[in-house]
Structures are given as structure tokens and as C-alpha cells.
């Protein structure tokens, strides 16, 4: 080949190039973020010194936790099973309710504007309420036991799954929907044939993820009397029986790891 492109053969080139954009914005952003972190620390009176003086206490607590009192394990199996059942029921009911809610909240699929804005507002409102507070409210309404816990987890699941799903819905390919409209399909048929196949794998993955979170959340709901393993946390911590608490923590860890492993495998199959 006779024609070769010689790089750097034209000395006039550098002056012709456009100027790279300034980096001032980047530096300013970094300064701003550092200032925010420092300011937050200052305002909350966080100090590294306190962390160090607290170290011996932490070591002491850990020492009391070991060795774990394994015999306590038999007492908590029932509570743990209840926690998992609460999470399972709450997540399932929540997932079912989340489907219509997500459809109402998705900007591209909402049947009409008058439902879209109130649904979004409501969803944002629900998401700002911490699940522990929700559980406390339901306990005061329905009394102690797993029912208020399940209700709290249901509401929490609706909020989380709807949010993730409507964001997913807003990214669906509109082409198949157009094709179904052209074929004379109505709203429900468009959703069932054009949207559901596009999102179902991701939706299942959201439900599994929510289930994982709910098992963890259900573990602390007992603190406000909403059933599950949390009751045992409160009891053992109250009596300063840290070796028992340790068993609960290890058991919870094992369950969470197991569920995490199972749902990861399931998601791999789905996607």
C-alpha cells in the first residue's frame, strides 16, 4: 500500500484541536462533598477519639458473646420459622398488590393521568415510613403477634416492588405494544402479551430480593412486639445474656446466607 496515514505528521494540528473542557467543576464538586462530610461529622459530634475509648467496651461485649450457648438453639427454631413465614406471606401478598400499583405509576402505561399522580404520591409517602414504625402502628391496632408484622412487611413490599417495577416498566420496548394495538388488542391484552413477557424475569428477581430484605426486617420487627425472632433478641439483650444473642445472630446469618444463595441461583435461571 502506498498511502499510509502518518500520525503526528502535521505540526499545525495541536493548535487546531478543540480545548479540553475545564476541570474546575470536578474540583469544586470534590471540595463540596468533603465539606458536607466534615460538616455532618461536626454537627453530629462524631469523634474518632470516642471510637477508640469505646474499644475496650466493644471487646468486652464480644468476649461475653463467646462461646455461644448452643443449647439455646432449640428455643429459637420456632421463632426463626415464624420470621421466615412472616416474610414469605408478606412478600407474596405485597408482590400481588404491587402489580396494579406499578402499572398505575408507570408514566408510559398508566391508563390515565388522574390516577398516575396520586398513585405516585401515595407510593412515595408509604416509602418514607420506616418498617419498624409501620409494625409499631399495626401492633397498636391489631395487638401483639405475627399479624401486624405480616401487614408491615406487606406494605413495605408493595412500596419497594412497585417502585422497582414501575421504573422497569418505563423502559419496556413499545414496539410489541404498538403491534398489539394494531391487531385490535385492548389495554389488558396489551399488558399481558406485550409487557408481561418483557418484565416477568426481572419482576421475579425483585420479589426474591424483597424477600431477602424482608427476612432481615422481620428479624427486628419482634422488637416492637410484631412476632418472629425479634422477640428473642429483645429478651436475651434485656437479660444481658449475650451468649444467647450470639446464637440468634449466627442463626440469622446462616438463614440469610442460605436464602441469598438460593435466590441468586434462582435469578440466574430466570434471567
Of the listed pieces 12-20, 95-103, 107-115, 179-187, which binds other proteins according to CB under 8 A?
Answer: 179-187
Residue 22 DSSP one-character state: P
Among 124, 186, 254, 262, binds other proteins (CB under 8 A): 186
CB-nearer residue toward other proteins: 172 or 248: 172
Alpha carbons 95 and 159: distance in angstroms, whole number: 9
Instruction: Select from 165, 145, 177, 148 the least CA-distant residue to 97.
Output: 165
**Pick from 124, 128, 201, 114: nearest CA to 163:** 124
User: Binding of other proteins at residue 194 (CB under 8 A)?
Assistant: yes
Least Å from the CB of residue 184 to other proteins: 3
Residue 140 vs 171, nearer CB to other proteins:
171
User: Is residue 201 near other proteins by the rule CB under 8 A?
Assistant: yes
- Please spell the DSSP secondary structure of 70-111, one letter per residue: GGGHHHHHHHHHHHHHHHHHHHHHHHHHHHHHHHHH-TTT-S
Please identify, using beta-carbon distances, which residue of 13 and 108 lies nearer to other proteins.
108
Does position 145 bind other proteins by CB under 8 A? no
Can you list the positions of beta strands (E) in the chain? none
Cell for 35? 465539606
Question: In this structure, what C-alpha cell is assigned to residue 42?
Answer: 461536626
State the number of binding residues for other proteins (CB under 8 A): 20
Judged by CB under 8 A, does residue 175 bind other proteins?
yes
Q: How many CA atoms lie within 13 A of 14 on its CB side?
A: 2
Contact 231/83 with Cβ under 8 angstroms?
Answer: no
Binding to other proteins by residue 92, rule CB under 8 A? no
Q: Does 180 bind other proteins (CB under 8 A)?
A: yes
Is 170 one of the binding residues for other proteins (CB under 8 A)? no
Taking CB under 8 A as the criterion, which residues in 207-226 touch other proteins? none
Would you count residue 75 as binding other proteins (CB under 8 A)? no
Interaction site with other proteins (CB under 8 A): 173, 175-176, 178-186, 188-189, 192-194, 197-198, 201
Amino acid at each position: 500500500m502506498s498511502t499510509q496515514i502518518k500520525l503526528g505528521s502535521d505540526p499545525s494540528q495541536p493548535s487546531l484541536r478543540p480545548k479540553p473542557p475545564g476541570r474546575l467543576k470536578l474540583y469544586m464538586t470534590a471540595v463540596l462533598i468533603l465539606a458536607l462530610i466534615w460538616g455532618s461529622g461536626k454537627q453530629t459530634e462524631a469523634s474518632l477519639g470516642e471510637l477508640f475509648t469505646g474499644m475496650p467496651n466493644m471487646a468486652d461485649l464480644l468476649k461475653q458473646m463467646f462461646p455461644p450457648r448452643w443449647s439455646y438453639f432449640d428455643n429459637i427454631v420456632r421463632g426463626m420459622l415464624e420470621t421466615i413465614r412472616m416474610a414469605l406471606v408478606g412478600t407474596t401478598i405485597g408482590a400481588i398488590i404491587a402489580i396494579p400499583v406499578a402499572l398505575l405509576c408507570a408514566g408510559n402505561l398508566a391508563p390515565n393521568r388522574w390516577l398516575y399522580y396520586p398513585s405516585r404520591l401515595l407510593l412515595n409517602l408509604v416509602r418514607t415510613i420506616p418498617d419498624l414504625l409501620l409494625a409499631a402502628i399495626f401492633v397498636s391496632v391489631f395487638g401483639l403477634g405475627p399479624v401486624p408484622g405480616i401487614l408491615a412487611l406487606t406494605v413495605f413490599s408493595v412500596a419497594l416492588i412497585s417502585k422497582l417495577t414501575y421504573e422497569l416498566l418505563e423502559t419496556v420496548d413499545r414496539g410489541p405494544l404498538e403491534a398489539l394495538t394494531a391487531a385490535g388488542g385492548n389495554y389488558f391484552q396489551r399488558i399481558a402479551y406485550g409487557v408481561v413477557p418483557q418484565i416477568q424475569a426481572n419482576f421475579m428477581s425483585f420479589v426474591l430480593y424483597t424477600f431477602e430484605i424482608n427476612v432481615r426486617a422481620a428479624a427486628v420487627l419482634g422488637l416492637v412486639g410484631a412476632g418472629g425472632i425479634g422477640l428473642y433478641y429483645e429478651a436475651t439483650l434485656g437479660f444481658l445474656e449475650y451468649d444467647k444473642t450470639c446464637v440468634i445472630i449466627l442463626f440469622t446469618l446462616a438463614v440469610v446466607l442460605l436464602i441469598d444463595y438460593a435466590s441468586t441461583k434462582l435469578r440466574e435461571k430466570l434471567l
